[in-house]
Amino acid sequence: MADVVEALRRLFESSWVPFQSDSQLVGKVLQKAAKIDLDRKEKQQDIPARKAQLTPVAKNEHNGGMSIMPWELLHTLGRATVLSGQGSSRALAQHWSCLKYITTLQANYQGRMELSQDGRDPRYHRKSVQAEDLGIAFALAASLRIVQRRHPDYQFQIVDADVALEAGWALRGTEVRSRENTLLRPDYFLVGLKEDQPARLVTVECKGSHGKAVAQHEQLAKASSQVHAVVVGGGDGSAAPPPSLMMATALAGSGGIEMLILDPDGDGVLAVPGERALSLNGPIEELHDFAGIPVKASDGSDDTRPGFYLPPERSEWFSRVLARTSAASLLTFVGDRKGARELLTPRQQARVGSEYALPGTDTVFDTGVVLGGMRFIGTDHVFRFGSQRMEAFSGVLVGLRQLLAEKDLQGYQSALPSVLAVWADRRQEAEAEWGGVIAMDTDGAVLGLRPMGVGQELEYTGPH
C-alpha cells in the first residue's frame, strides 16, 4: 500500500516543463523542411504545401514553459484519445489507456519533469507508442494554456480532427476518393466558444520523440504541412489556414522533458454569414465533399491542392460539428456510448463502435457517486497496480449529462463556467470524500483513481 500512496502523491506533484520557441528554432525547422523537399524532388515525389511563415510563440503567451502535474497530463490524454480507433468490442482496459502511465513521470532534483525509471524501461513501454501518447498529452496541455492566455474570455475544448473532419469528408474505407487529398491533416482542433460570438479555431499538431534535437526539427517540418491542410473561407472571398500550434516534445533530454513550439500565423474565426449569432443547437447533416483546397495554377486557371476547405456558408455547420464531437468525446469518456453516438453523423459513429458489444468488453454507463454535494454519473473500472486493486471512475455532473442527452449544446456551454466554479470551491471536500486522486477538466469531466475499499462508495444506478 505504501507504494500506491507514494505513486498517487507523485501524480499531483507539479514540475516544470521548459518551452523552446525562438527565431533560431524557426531557422532550423525551415532548413530541415527545405532539405526534405529537395530529397522528395530528387526522387520525383510530390512536395506537400507548407505554411511558409513559421513564427515563435510570443513570450508573454508561454512564459518560458509550464508547471504541470502528471495527473493533468494523463487526464488530458485520456480525454483526447477516447474516440481514436475504437471498435465495438474493445477491451475495458483501453478505455483509460492513459493509466498505463501512472508511474512514468516524475520531478527531478531541479524540479523539472522527466521520465521515471519505469518510464525509461522498455519492458513496460514501447518507445514509439510512449512518444506518440505523451506527445499528445504535453502538446494539448501546453496549447490550451497558450490559447487561453491569448483569448481569456473564450472556453476552449479539444476536438479530435479526424473525427470532426469525417462529418464532411470520408477519411477511411471505400468512400475515400483520393487518399492523397486526405492523408496530411492536423491531429487536433481547439475550438474556442463565447456567447454570441463566432467560434475560434486553432489547429494543433502533436509530436513526441526520444531522439536528439534534429528529430524534433524534422517532426516540426512535417507538421508545417499538416496544419496547412485545413483552410477557412472568409466572407470577403479570402481563404486562409487557421492559426496553428506545432508541438514537438523531447522526452529523452538529460535535463528533463522539453517542448519545441512554433506558431504559424492564420485566421481562425468561423464567422456565421449574416448578422445572427452562432447557434450550436440543431442537427448536423453528414456531407460527402471532395477533399481539396482551391488554388490558382501557374497558368492562372483554377486548381486544387490536397486538404480540406471550409467555405463561409459551412461555418455554422462546422462549429456545430466541433461542439458535438467534443461533447461526444466527453460522453464516451464517461461511458455513455449511446449518448455519444446520437451526437455524431453515421461516419463519425464508427469511431464510437457498434451499438452492441460483447459482454465484458465495453464500458457501462451505470455508476454514480456524490462528492462535495455534487452528483456524478459515469463508469468505473477495477485493475491491479502491483498487488493492490485500484478503482478508476470517470463521470460528469448529472445536470450536464442531461443537457447533452437533450442535445442542448448551447445550454451545456452556458452551464460550464458555473460548474467549474462550484468544483473549484468544493474540490478539497470532494477529494477527501473520494479518498484518492480526482480532478475535473475544463469540459466538466472528472477522472478519479484510488485504492479499492476507501472513500465514498460508488452507487450502481442501472444502465441509462
Query: Up-side HSE of residue 204: CA atoms within 13 Å toward CB?
Result: 28
Give bridge partners of residue 224 from the DSSP assignment.
none
Q: Is residue 453 part of a domain?
A: no
Range of the domain at 244: 2-352
Q: Is residue 312 part of a domain?
A: yes
Give dist(CA 206, CA 247) in Å, integer: 5
Q: How far is CA 62 from the centre of its chain?
A: 19
92: its cell numbers:
475495458
What value, to the nearest 5°, has the Cα angle with vertex 285 and ends 281 and 288? 150
* Residue 15 domain-assigned (yes or no): yes
Structural domain includes residue 377: no
328: Cα separation from own chain's centroid:
13
Whether residue 308 is contained in a domain is answered as yes
Residue 262 counted as domain residue: yes
In terms of Cα–Cα distance, which of 245, 79, 225 is closest to 149? 245
Contact predicate 325/348, CB 8 Å: yes
Q: Which residues have CB under 8 Å from 452's CB, separation 6+?
A: 382, 388, 389, 390, 391
Could you list the pLDDT tens digit for every one of the 464 residues in the chain?
447 788 888 899 999 999 999 999 999 999 999 999 999 999 998 888 998 889 999 999 999 999 999 999 999 999 999 887 544 334 444 556 788 888 899 999 999 999 999 888 877 778 899 999 999 999 999 999 999 999 999 999 999 999 999 999 988 766 666 667 678 899 999 999 998 888 999 999 999 999 999 999 999 999 999 999 999 987 666 778 899 999 999 998 889 999 999 998 777 788 776 667 788 998 899 999 888 998 888 888 888 899 999 998 999 999 999 999 999 999 999 989 899 999 999 999 987 766 555 444 455 788 999 999 999 999 998 888 877 899 999 999 999 999 999 999 999 999 999 999 999 999 999 999 999 999 999 999 999 999 999 999 999 887 66
Number of domains forming the structure of the chain: 1
Q: Give the global pTM.
A: 0.94
In a domain, 166, yes or no: yes
In a domain, 359, yes or no: no
